[in-house]
Amino acid sequence: MKKRDWAIALGIGVATLFAYLPALHGDYVWDDHDYIASNPNLKTVSGLYSIWFEPFTSVNYYPLALTSFWLEYRLWGESLLGHHVLNVLLHATVAVLLWRLLARLAVRGALPAAWVFALHPVHVESVAWMSERKNVLMGVFSLLALHAWQRYLEVGTLRRLLLAAGALALALLSKTLACVLPAYFLVHAWWKGGQKWRRKSLVALGLIPPCLAFAALTIWWERNRTGAVGESFDFTFLERVLIAGRALWFYAGKLVWPFGLMTIYPRWEIDPAAAWQYLFPLTALVALLAVAWLGCRGHKAPACAAAFYVILLFPALGFFDYSTMRLTLVADHYQYLASMGVIAPLCAVAVLASRSAPAWASRALGVVLLGGLSALTWSHASSYRNMETLFGELIERHPEAWYAHNNVGGALLLKGKPEEAAKHFAEAARLNPEDFTLHRSLGDAYTRAGRLAEAVEAYHRALAIQPDDIDASNGLAIALTGRGRAEEAAAILEEALERSPESARTHTNLGNALVVLGRNSEAANHFGESIRISEHNPEAHYNFGNLLASEGKTAQAIGQYREALRQRPGWKEPAANLAWILATHPDPRFRNGKEAVQLARLACAGPGAPNPVYLDILGAALAESGDFSLAVEVGEEAIRLAESTGQGALTTRIRERLARYREGLPFRGGRN
């Protein structure tokens, strides 16, 4: 490219980055936790092997997209800014590649099309949603494949063909939607392949089998791994035709009139008895036949644009089941690449129509259009700040959206707000009472809020719908144990283990129930089994540590607490328990005042109300390290908090320890 072209490309990148500024500091949304935050493969070097060769260890088999997250974790850890910036830059790169491709094809309005693509708000979902890295990454490699295919049609060299095949492979490894590209290669050869286009296009047929293999894998995955089965997917072929026709107009409409964009659009009611619903596929067919007729008359560009639009949308038109169809039949990110088939011809028509207008007027109109698109993108990107804003706005516009309440509830629960979460889960369960996962989530929120009786009821409702749900069984057992019904809890968990003997969580919870029942030897066996089953298992290590500490096996308990903290850095409970041992144990071999202070400060830090127990531990650690004046100060604060929350017994114990600190004596022995 010339210097001027590089300057234009830089301008597109800067403008795109500016339009997406509100999204750069966004938190995890939707399934970002599955792809990034909770993905153990990103945290270890060996995880790269698992990403590529152990597909069932990941939420989906998109190895190249997941590898990009793995590399980012090596570069900047758990910082989210890098993920967002890279998504925006990849999107801008797709826009630049679109411009260069259209320019090579001598399509009018190539540069305006790139600007519109870069700044159009319909693409916010693909850019601001971090796990949609697969979309923008696929976009880059798909455009590179199209560039290479066009060069192959021009010069016919094996090198260009191999480049096209290689780029297509990388696009497939980013997202399977690229599997339809060879079909467009055939159409593109008809357009730009010259008189020998049939011979040149034959090689594209060789690309179809691997694409079909990837498509088959995704179809199987959607049905067997993400649950795209059931009544929500039982459409007849006629109903699927009605969905496809409506979707074609819907997506084009959102490109022309990008207002009212939603994360999840209300699910259409498809009714073959409603005559008006046939208007969508019939008018779509007429439009496609019209552009096909134009193509046969020598005007191939419009026909190819329409073919690109339909082919790239085809996997998401409703002929194949995918998990989100239970919620909606359309989504903005499904038309990420397909949108080029509408944007490019519209921009070409606009440029052609503006030839009779003064240059200044055309430029002014273009600036206004791009400014308006940027403003809409900025506004829509602001919704992706976190789950509460994203789905809170959806609730305002669509109060009956049970899934929005469910997602807000999940976000609030992660943030330690179980009471607020319970309200949203309860509303979601009211709106969709047949979904057992909503009752289970409500039970989880009630448990976290200490409302154990209500939690038990919610879990029972979940199990009445889905008796074999292992998570609901575990939740019910935890609530029952907390209610003093550990015998019932143990029976439920033992039955659950008969169904799922390799459930690490069930072994851990059964161990906890057995500890309450005083069956420590059996509990230790279950904790050990849980750790054997799941290498990354901080909960089992923590609970096993508690058991060992209660039995006086201090060295082993310390080892379990350290492992729990290694696997989950910053976890308050094991940090506090380990700090207590290091600060107060009668045996000097186990004491370490300096480390105890660090761990106790870790337990006291972070969000949430101050905890008098953790402050008491910090006071003991400070005393062990010799800082008695600060130990007294912290102890007095712990007493104030304990009294304000009605913890009389704790207040008495802290006062006794405080008296020792005032005498310059650390505390020794006993549980806090």
Q: Which tens digit of pLDDT belongs to each residue from 554-569? A: 999 999 999 999 999 9
Exposure class string for 137-162: b at 16+ Cβ within 10 A, else e: bbbbbbbbbbbbbbbbbeeeeeebbe
Quick check: 55 and 66 in contact, CB under 8 A? Answer: no
Name the average pLDDT for the chain.
Answer: 94
Mean predicted confidence (pLDDT) in 461-481: 96
pLDDT in tens, 94-116: 999 999 999 999 999 999 999 99
Q: What is the pLDDT of residue 448?
A: 95
List the one residue out of 210, 88, 67 whose CA is nearest residue 139: 88
List the one residue out of 107, 92, 104, 190 whose CA is nearest residue 139: 92
Please state which of the ranges 30-34, 118-122, 161-165, 546-550 shows the lowest mean pLDDT: 30-34
pLDDT band at 672 (very low <50, low <70, confident <90, very high): low
Alpha-carbon distance of 277 to 457, in angstroms, equals: 43
Q: What is the pLDDT of residue 93?
A: 98
Higher-pLDDT residue of 201, 660: 660
List the one residue out of 539, 559, 557, 537 whose CA is nearest residue 547: 557
Alpha-carbon distance of 142 to 163, in angstroms, equals: 11
Please state which of the ranges 29-38, 308-317, 588-597, 612-621 shows the lowest mean pLDDT: 29-38
Mean predicted confidence (pLDDT) in 471-493: 96
Mean predicted confidence (pLDDT) in 355-377: 90
Q: Where are the domains of the chain?
A: 3-27+80-382, 471-569, 593-672
Q: What is the pLDDT of residue 3?
A: 85
- Measured between alpha carbons, how far is residue 105 from residues 108, 165, 304, 352 in Å? 9, 20, 12, 16
- Would you say residue 573 has pLDDT above 70? yes
Q: What is the pLDDT of residue 142?
A: 98
* Sign, Cα dihedral of 267, 272, 277, 279: positive
In single-letter form, the type of residue at position 380 comes to H
Taking the model in full, what pTM does it have?
Answer: 0.83
Q: Is 564 exposed, middle or buried (0-12, 13-18, 19+ CB in 10 A)?
A: buried
Higher-pLDDT residue of 515, 607: 515
Residue that is written with structure tokens 């029952």 in the block = 480
Alpha-carbon distance of 293 to 189, in angstroms, equals: 18
Please state which of the ranges 183-187, 203-207, 280-284, 312-316 shows the lowest mean pLDDT: 203-207
* Sign, Cα dihedral of 316, 320, 321, 327: positive
Quick check: 201 and 190 in contact, CB under 8 A? Answer: yes
C-alpha 198: how far from its chain's center?
Answer: 43
Q: Please, what is the Cα angle at 430 between 488 and 423, to 5 degrees?
A: 80
pLDDT in tens, 609-666: 689 999 999 999 999 999 999 999 999 999 999 998 888 899 999 999 999 999 999 9
* Sign, Cα dihedral of 396, 401, 406, 407: negative
- Would you say residue 670 has pLDDT above 70? no
Question: What share of the chain has pLDDT > 90, as a percent?
Answer: 86
- Would you say residue 191 has pLDDT above 80? yes
484 three-state secondary structure: coil
Query: Using CA atoms in the order 654, 660, 663, 668, what is the torsion angle rounded to 10 degrees?
Result: -140
Question: What share of the chain has pLDDT > 70, as a percent?
Answer: 99
Q: Is 287 exposed, middle or buried (0-12, 13-18, 19+ CB in 10 A)?
A: middle
Instruction: Give residues with Cβ within 8 angstroms of 635, minimum separation 6.
Output: 615, 616, 619, 654, 657, 658, 661
Mean predicted confidence (pLDDT) in 165-181: 97
Alpha-carbon distance of 501 to 494, in angstroms, equals: 9
- The DSSP letter of residue 330 is -
- The DSSP letter of residue 34 is I
Residue that is written with structure tokens 């602001």 in the block = 382
Alpha-carbon distance of 31 to 426, in angstroms, equals: 21
Mean predicted confidence (pLDDT) in 578-585: 95
pLDDT band at 446 (very low <50, low <70, confident <90, very high): very high
In a 13 Å sphere around the CA of 30, the CA atoms on its Cβ side amount to 15
The token duo for 154 is 């021009």
Q: What is the pLDDT of residue 479?
A: 97
The token duo for 380 is 């829509």
pLDDT band at 671 (very low <50, low <70, confident <90, very high): low
Mean predicted confidence (pLDDT) in 284-308: 95
- Would you say residue 357 has pLDDT above 70? yes
Quick check: 523 and 514 in contact, CB under 8 A? Answer: yes
CATH code for the part of the protein at 471-569: 1.25.40.10
Quick check: 481 and 512 in contact, CB under 8 A? Answer: yes
Quick check: 61 and 52 in contact, CB under 8 A? Answer: no
Angle between helices 81-104 and 63-76 (to 10 degrees): 130
Residue that is written with structure tokens 């007493």 in the block = 639
Q: What is the pLDDT of residue 145?
A: 98
- The DSSP letter of residue 412 is H
Mean predicted confidence (pLDDT) in 301-329: 95
Q: What is the pLDDT of residue 216?
A: 95
